Amino acid sequence: MNQLINSILVLLVLTGFMLLSSSRLAACIRAIAIQGVLLGILAIVIQVGQLSVAGVLLPLSSAIVKGFVLPWLLFRAMREADTVREVEPVISYNLSIIAGTAALGVSLWLGHRLTLSNQPPSSLLVPAAFFTSLVGMIVIASRQKALTQVLGYLALENGVYAFGAAVALRLPILVELGILLDVFVGVFVMGIAIFHISREFDHIDTDKLRARTARL
């Protein structure tokens, strides 16, 4: 069981690095989608032994929303804005990966130091949650495009969700509430962000075209 949880968490961390290292927006969106699905599975797996109907349905619906609905919206936004990759990040991708490694180190240390009242099922759970939030922050701070910023918010939120799963294992109501809140916040952020994206991309697009014709 622990193996499975650990594997999920490792994949969660790796998707974090995928988000940091890829310049293609499609790959970033996919990373976030995978994170959503992984977290859904994680929330179910953690409860094994005391499964309830709600305990399965809620994570499941959250996984569907985060893994399929939101990515679908994001892909649509991407197509509408006609943009494929993040062009000029504030810090280079190499440096993003290094920052990610540093974040991983910090989260492991924090996870080592932090003592929770109830023992999480895996020693990696808290660090992975921290790390995912930190990745979100790095992405928000270091990327220019509105779409990638939204992805950063989503990663941040995924980290919070994972942390919730770690802390509130034996408080199902809290989990449910948290998940509902998460989904709400996710959609809310999306709504605002997509509005921004379409506005922002309108003129970025033309800029880009002008620059390209000038170079030709």
Partner 1 sequence: MTALLISILLFGIGAAGSLIVANRIRWLTFVGAGGVILGSLTGIAPAVRAALGAPPQSLRIAWDVPYGSLYFRLDALSAFFLLPIFLICALAALYGTQYLEAYRGRKALAPSWFFLNVLAASMVVVVLAHNAILFLMAWETMALSSFFLVTFEDDKESTRQAGWTYLVASHIGTACLLVLFVLLGRANGSMDFDRFSASAATGLLFVLALIGFGTKAGFIPLHVWLPEAHPAAPSHVSAVMSAVMIKTGIYGLLRILTFLGPPQAWWGWTLCAIGLSSGVLGVVLALAQHDLKRLLAYSSVENIGIIALGLGVGIVALSAGAPFIAIVAFAGALLHVLNHALFKGLLFLGAGNVAHETHTREIDRLGGLLRRMPGTGATFLIGAAAISGLPPLNGFVSEFLIYLASFRGAISLDASGSVPMLATLSGLALIGGLATACFTKAFGIVFLGHPRTEHAETAHEAGPVMLVPGFVLASGCAFIGLFGSTVVQSMAPLISTVTGLPRISVGENLVQASKSVAIVGYFAALLIGLAALLSLARTIALSRRRVATAETWGCGYANPSPRMQYTASSFTQPLTEIFGTFLQTRQIFTGSDQLFLQRAEFRTHTDDPYQRYLFRPLFHGISRGMNSLRPLQQAKVQYYVLYIAITLLALLLWQVS
Partner 2 sequence: MSSGSLLPLILAVVLAPLMQAVITRTKSVLAGRIGQPLLQPYRDLWKLLRKGAVYSQTTTWIFQMGPTVGLASVILAMGLVPFGGSPALSGFTGDFVLIAYLMAAGRFFTVVAALDTGSSFEGMGASREVTFSALAEPALFLGLAALVRQTGHLSLSPVLASVSTVTWRHAAPILSLTLAGLIIVFLAENARIPVDDPTTHLELTMIHEVMVLDHSGPDFALIQYGAALKMWLFAAIIIGVAAPWHFGNRWIDLGAALGGMLVLGIATGVIESSMARLRLLRVPQLLLVAIVLSALALAL
What whole-number distance in Å separates Cα of residue 78 and Cα of residue 2?
38
Binders in 68-97 for partner 2, by CB under 8 A: 93-94, 97
Q: Of 30 and 143, which has the nearer Cβ to partner 1?
A: 143
Q: Is 136 in the site for partner 2 (CB under 8 A)?
A: no
170 binds, among partner 2, partner 1, none (CB under 5 to 8 A by kind): none
Q: Of 113 and 203, which has the nearer Cβ to partner 1?
A: 113
Binders in 81-120 for partner 1, by CB under 8 A: 92, 94-95, 112
Cite the DSSP H helix spans in 2-86.
2-21, 25-46, 53-64, 70-81
**Residue among 60, 66, 40 at smallest CA distance from 164:** 40
Name the token pair of 1.
């069981």
Contact 132, 19 (CB under 8 A): no
Which of 104, 129, 135, 179 touches partner 2 by CB under 8 A?
104
What whole-number distance in Å separates Cα of residue 99 and Cα of residue 101?
5
Q: How far is CA 88 from CA 34, 42, 79, 91, in A?
A: 25, 34, 19, 8
What whole-number distance in Å separates Cα of residue 206 and Cα of residue 83?
12
**By CB under 8 A, which span of 80-88, 101-109, 148-156, 183-191 interacts with partner 2?**
101-109
6 binds, among partner 2, partner 1, none (CB under 5 to 8 A by kind): partner 2
b/e 143-164 (16+ beta carbons within 10 angstroms → b) = bebbbbbbbbbbbbbbbbbbbb
Q: Of 92 and 206, which has the nearer Cβ to partner 1?
A: 92
**By CB under 8 A, which span of 4-12, 36-44, 161-169, 179-187 interacts with partner 2?**
4-12
Q: Residue 175 carries which side chain, given as an amino acid letter?
A: V
Contact 66, 158 (CB under 8 A): yes
CB of 183 to partner 2, least distance (A): 29
Binders in 10-69 for partner 1, by CB under 8 A: none
Q: How far is CA 57 from CA 1, 46, 180, 210, in A?
A: 21, 14, 12, 50
56 binds, among partner 2, partner 1, none (CB under 5 to 8 A by kind): none
Q: Of 7 and 92, which has the nearer Cβ to partner 1?
A: 92
What residues make contact with partner 1 under the rule CB under 8 A?
92, 94-95, 112
What residues make contact with partner 2 under the rule CB under 8 A?
3, 6-7, 10, 13-14, 17, 21, 93-94, 97-98, 100-101, 104, 108, 124, 127
